[in-house]
Amino acid sequence: MRIVVLALVVALGACEGKPPEFVEKKIAAPSRAETTPTQNLSALLNENWTRLPVWQEGTEERAEYEAERVIEGKIVKFIETRLTRKEAFSRQAYSATSDTSRTDLLAVVSQHVLARSDLAVYSASFSVLQRDPLKLAKFIASWSDERGARAKIFRRLVGRSMLYAHSWQIDGEGKGDDETDLAKNDMLYDQLPLTLRALNFKEGREFYWNALSELLEPASEKPVPMEWRFSIDALDTVVAPAGAFRCWRVSIKSAEREDAYWFSVDAPNVMVRARTPRYEAQLRRLDYVKRDVAILNKAKP
């Protein structure tokens, strides 16, 4: 059957809020109320990661993966591409721009995902602030298959964070819109393949973050907030289709499951492997392509 591909062109709002909460020690079960961070972010994040020459010089990282996703109990294979690069956002609309005459430019690091199989197509675009890779500026995701299409959009507004969802099915059933009011410090699980690359990797380090369940899924259920325990394990040698890599393994555990991500020890710490109950990926190709940096030099961190 023909796959319906959903094109997303949505301008996102944003606000200056506190970054997602984490602590270096065990905390109580997460509350939906705002709490005060107890740990300086600089202890956990590598403050130099977003200032690496690969981003400052406008280079685009093009990583291709052999991926699998579990859809309605079946494993579906995808070829997944992740494009990672620094971008200049306009503060007015929080969207990428190439207009060098603007004076309201904000620097972000973005990752754009596109994956195809014989049964489905999905895409996502998410951006974190260059000065704070924990803080999500934009998230858009779409999923299209023989049943129809779904889209999910994350917006940060003044004093409020919202998740919007739209679904459309071929038979006309299940069509509708929905929205979820989020706590300001909620983090999206889907941003981990980008945000975790900015960690100050150190073997044995553990920390806790609150994150919402995955949004890049064909299901239409509302996201569920969960507490996750992160630990940076010993170095592994990972053999992927793209070759052998020395990697930091980051284990992620909740009350219900255990996931793992492997990131190259070499900057900019590309994701080499991922493993969750519904998603697996292995790096099959990695390229770096130079881009025009005129607009990026005008964007402020």
114 is written with which tokens?
């596109």
Whether 175 has a pLDDT exceeding 80, the answer reads no
**Radius of gyration (C-alpha) of the chain in whole angstroms:** 19
The strand pairing partners of 120, in sequence order, are 145
Query: Is residue 158 within 8 Å of residue 19, measured between CB atoms?
Result: no
Half-sphere exposure of 204 (CA within 13 A, CB side): 0
- Residue 214 tokens read as 């995955």
Q: What 3 state SS string does 162-176 have? A: EEEEEEEECCCCCCE
| pLDDT tens-digit readout, 245-295 | 999 999 999 988 999 999 999 999 999 999 999 999 999 999 999 887 665
Higher-pLDDT residue of 200 and 218 is 200
pLDDT in tens, 55-107: 888 899 999 999 999 888 889 999 999 999 999 888 776 777 777 788 888 88
Q: What is the pTM of this model?
A: 0.80
CA–CA gap between residue 249 and residue 126 (Å, rounded): 23
For residues 95-124, average pLDDT: 88
Residue 31 has pLDDT above 60, yes or no: no
**Cβ(216)–Cβ(141) below 8 Å:** yes
Kindly give, in sequence order, each residue whose CB lies less than 8 Å from that of residue 177, ignoring residues fewer than 6 positions away: 164, 165, 166, 167
Amino acid found at 127: S
**Residues 141, 151 contacting (CB under 8 angstroms):** yes
111 pLDDT above the threshold of 70: yes
Average pLDDT, the chain: 78
